[in-house]
Amino acid sequence: MTKKGSILIVDDETEIRESLETLLSLEGFQVDSADSAESGQRCLEKKSYDVVLLDVALPGKSGLDALEDFRRLDPNLAVLIITAYGSVENAVAAIRRGAENFLTKPWDNEQLLAEIRSAIERRRLSQENVQLKRAFQQRYNFPHIIGKSDPMLKIFDLIEQVAASRSTVLLAGESGTGKEVMAKAIHAHSPRAQASFVPVNTGSLPADLLESTLFGHVKGAFTSAVASKKGLFEVADGGTIFLDEIGTVGPETQAKLLRVIQEREFMPLGSTETFKTDVRIIAATNVDLRRLVTDGRFREDLYYRLNVITISLPPLRERKEDVPLLCDHFMTKYCGENNRPLLRFAPEAMAVLMDYDWPGNVRELENVVERAVVLSRDLVVTPDLLPEALAESRNGGILPLVDSRPDASLFEIMDECERRVIGATLEKTGGNQTEAAERLQVPLSTLNQKIKRLNIDVKRKSRRENGRTVKAEPATTADPA
């Protein structure tokens, strides 16, 4: 029988281990077992597993303490806590320490198998994300540009094509889409890679200071010019200069930029001498330069000189499939900077991230991840650690994740959480289960099982997207995995 995944059972009760081994082996899983936290850790040191079924009450080190040790050995390890001592407190403690879920003895076989399949699927999706990231980096060698969406793949190809030339490049996109990162990638893959990359935020400098910054000045050129100073075009000679927010540049500076592009020369302020320069110009804008030309605020001849090659960067809301990859990238970055073990987003937190439209684009997502790393006391980032704006954007907040009934059991709380998240996602997709499964990052078969188990009413209807009506597809059915 084909093995569907590898599972380690850690429980001190022989009957429990044997019962689980029989059940899981018959389902096609490869199964090993251990009777203590210490022996379980030895197994993990020798072999990689997809899922660990971990008892809480173990001799010596408890399951909750062992959980952190296990995840240090394998940060992506899926751990399901199984115990006879079920309580909301233990459940919260286990999930905060990195457990996927919490089940009580005696367990329901179908529910246990469904949780194992779901955990394995999430682990494999995570591994695929890592492999995709490595594959992109090996193919394109752009370690700081993350994406697998079609728009990003096209941009990767464009960067490879334009990097080797000396042509001027215009990067267009909303604020926070990563224009400077793209500019650095073009420079790094060009013949100028060993020379200087000089970024200039033209929008942050007043007109007189910008001109001096770009072209330099001689002593006495103005009142405070007590000494001559090189401009950034001279500093960047042989390399690349990146002019961010080019649409904010004033008319006089525009004229001088046009001369640099056409003649490859400039004149410092107060000087009568011209200087030759070999600089590649990459400009960026978050406004429509063509409209500025029409309004008479930007030189048409300069616009056409800058617009030799234009790369339009998509907003994050148009490439949401890249959100998990970006989260992994920023999580690795900020966990390392803060000397923390690798954290992960809980599925319901990732659902919030996937559903948000990200008006601040990649920069906003990066800030959210950094905030979560700093504020989280546990290994799992839950929705309560996300900024309020994200939760409020989800239909007025479909969460909280805790049932309002004080006597609710753990299963009732978790069922209600899943019911709310799945119901809200189906509402947004017009009842399209295939799209809902993609948004929630679960297999379609798993989503179908949950819809049936939780008795969720799937209403198929049309919805509005980008000003047009999109008819919902019929609900897709799938056999349980």
Cβ 367 vs Cβ 97: under 8 Å:
no
Predicted TM-score of the model (pTM): 0.60
Q: Exposure of 388 by Cβ count < 10 A (0-12 exposed, 13-18 middle, 19+ buried)?
A: exposed
Average pLDDT, the chain: 82
- In angstroms, the CA 481 to CA 475 distance is 17
Q: What was the pLDDT predicted at 471?
A: 46
User: pLDDT tens across 46-97, in order?
Assistant: 888 989 999 888 888 888 888 888 878 887 788 888 877 655 566 667 777 7
Cβ 20 vs Cβ 53: under 8 Å:
yes
Cis peptide before 383 (omega within 30 of 0): no
Q: What was the pLDDT predicted at 87?
A: 59
Q: What was the pLDDT predicted at 401?
A: 45
- Structural tokens at position 364: 């906003």
Q: Which of 12-16, 119-123, 278-282 has the highest mean pLDDT?
A: 278-282
Q: What was the pLDDT predicted at 257?
A: 94
Q: Of the candidates 399, 380, 408, 376, which has an alpha carbon nearest to the alpha carbon of residue 87?
A: 408
161, pLDDT greater than 60: yes
CA atoms within 13 A on the CB side of 90: 22
- In angstroms, the CA 371 to CA 386 distance is 8
Cα distances from 233 to residues 110, 217, 299, 333, 418, in angstroms, run: 68, 12, 20, 33, 57
Domains and CATH numbers, the chain: 6-133 (3.40.50.2300), 150-313 (3.40.50.300), 318-470 (1.10.8.60)
- Structural tokens at position 71: 């995840």
Q: What was the pLDDT predicted at 135?
A: 55
Contacts made by residues 448-457, CB under 8 angstroms, sequence distance 24+:
448/476, 448/477, 448/478, 448/480, 449/114, 449/480, 450/418, 450/422, 451/422, 454/415, 454/418, 454/419, 454/422, 456/419, 456/422, 456/423, 456/426
Stretch 150-177: mean pLDDT, rounded?
A: 90
Residue type, 158: L
Residue type, 120: I
**Residues shown for the chain:** 481
| pLDDT band at 129; cut points 50, 70, 90 | low
Stretch 405-431: mean pLDDT, rounded?
A: 74
b/e sequence 170-193, b meaning 16+ C-beta within 10 Å = bbbbbebbbbbebbbbbbbbbebe
Q: What was the pLDDT predicted at 75?
A: 77
Q: pLDDT exceeding 90 applies to what percent of the chain? A: 35
| pLDDT band at 465; cut points 50, 70, 90 | very low
Helices 88-96, 63-73: axis angle to 10 degrees equals 20
Q: What was the pLDDT predicted at 346?
A: 85
- In angstroms, the CA 236 to CA 365 distance is 32
Q: Where are the alpha helices (DSSP H) in 141-206?
A: 150-163, 179-188
User: pLDDT tens across 292-316, in order?
Assistant: 999 999 999 999 999 999 999 999 9
Cβ 64 vs Cβ 50: under 8 Å:
no
Between these two residues, 382 and 200, which has the higher pLDDT value? 200
Q: What was the pLDDT predicted at 462?
A: 46
Stretch 313-329: mean pLDDT, rounded?
A: 90
Q: What was the pLDDT predicted at 10?
A: 92
Please state whether beta strands 265-266 and 275-276 pair in parallel, antiparallel, or not at all (unpaired). antiparallel
Q: Of the candidates 415, 387, 386, 390, which has an alpha carbon nearest to the alpha carbon of residue 403?
A: 415
- Structural tokens at position 375: 């504020």
Cross-strand pairs, 30? 6
467, pLDDT greater than 60: no
Least confident among 1-5, 236-240, 247-251: 1-5
Secondary structure element (H or E) that encloses residue 282, with its range: strand 280-285
Q: pLDDT exceeding 70 applies to what percent of the chain? A: 84
Least confident among 7-16, 153-162, 188-197, 456-465: 456-465
40, pLDDT greater than 70: yes
